[in-house]
Every structure is written in C-alpha cells, then in structure tokens.
Amino acid sequence: MKHLLQELSRLRGFKTVILCVGNILKGDDGAGPRLCELLEGSTCVDVIDGGSAPENYIGPIVAKDPEVLLIVDAMDFGALPGTMRIFDPTQLGKSALSTHYLSPRVLADIINAQIDVQVLLIGIQPAQVHLGKPLSPEVAQAASSLANTIVSIFSQE
C-alpha cells in the first residue's frame, strides 16, 4: 500500500479522471463500482463508473481531456486477495487480465490514440468472481483503503 500511496501522491495537481471498472453481480469484480460509490462527492477529480463496459466511456473521457487517467479494476495477477498493484498499461499484454471484453491495455491504447494522457491501472486481486456473490472482505477492505487514499490525495479544497 505504501508504494501505491507514493505513486498516486505524485499525481496531485494533475487533471485526473478515475475510471472504475467491474461487474457488481460477479463478486470481487465489483471492486471498481464499489470504489466509485465510496468516492462519490468526496474528491475533486472526475470519477466514472464504467461498469462492465468501460469502452462505452471512451468518448466522455476524451472530452474531459485529462492529463492522467486512472483505471481501477479487479485483476488476477497472482497475489493474495485484496492486494493492490499499480501498472503502466504497456506492462500488460493485449490479452485481458480482467474479466471484461476489452482488456485494460487495449482500452488505454484506444484512448491514447485520441488524446495525450498518462494512463495508469490499479489492479485489485480478487478472491472470487462468482456470479451472485458479494465482495470478499479482503477486496471490500482494499476498495475502502484505496478510496481513503484517493480522497487524501485529491480532496476537495
């Protein structure tokens, strides 16, 4: 978490959009929408709930012309449930690590083709992504911790 805080702290002062991705019906895949809910009205950055079809928000993101796009999604990167890791999308392959149709890397590439924006991805390691299951305690705690971190960095003043 300390490394994540350091990485996010350097974004203070940049025009930032946060795109939260996930499906609330599939357990820990709902981490992104949960983060969006936790951030509602508590930060000075634009927060978009991209749900399970983040490609539908490419136009609105491009229209906002941010300097930084932060994508938050449940991703399996082989860590303990609730672990968060920050990635540059170029570190990821073109195949999806997330549970969505469009991989985070391809989404970042499409947006970068239209505007000059630094894209960062925060992956939250899921415990499970089963249909009809709630967020696991580990992922719920990770979303809450991430929300607190984002609020402390991008608080409304």
Strands in 84-87's sheet, in edge-to-edge order, are 46-51, 16-21, 68-74, 118-124, 84-87
Whole-model pTM: value is: 0.91
pLDDT tens digits, 129-138: 999 999 999 9
pLDDT tens digits, 22-51: 999 999 999 999 999 999 988 889 999 999
Domain ranges, residue 30: 2-153
Residue type, 147: A
Q: Of all helices (H) and strands (E), which one includes residue 145?
A: helix 137-153
User: Looking at residues 75-101, what average pLDDT do you find?
Assistant: 76
d(CA 71, CA 141): 18
The DSSP code sequence of 2-40 is HHHHHHHHTTTTS-EEEEEE--TTSGGGGHHHHHHHHHT
d(CA 37, CA 40): 5
Number of folded domains that form the chain: 1
- Here the CATH number for the domain that contains residue 120 is 3.40.50.1450
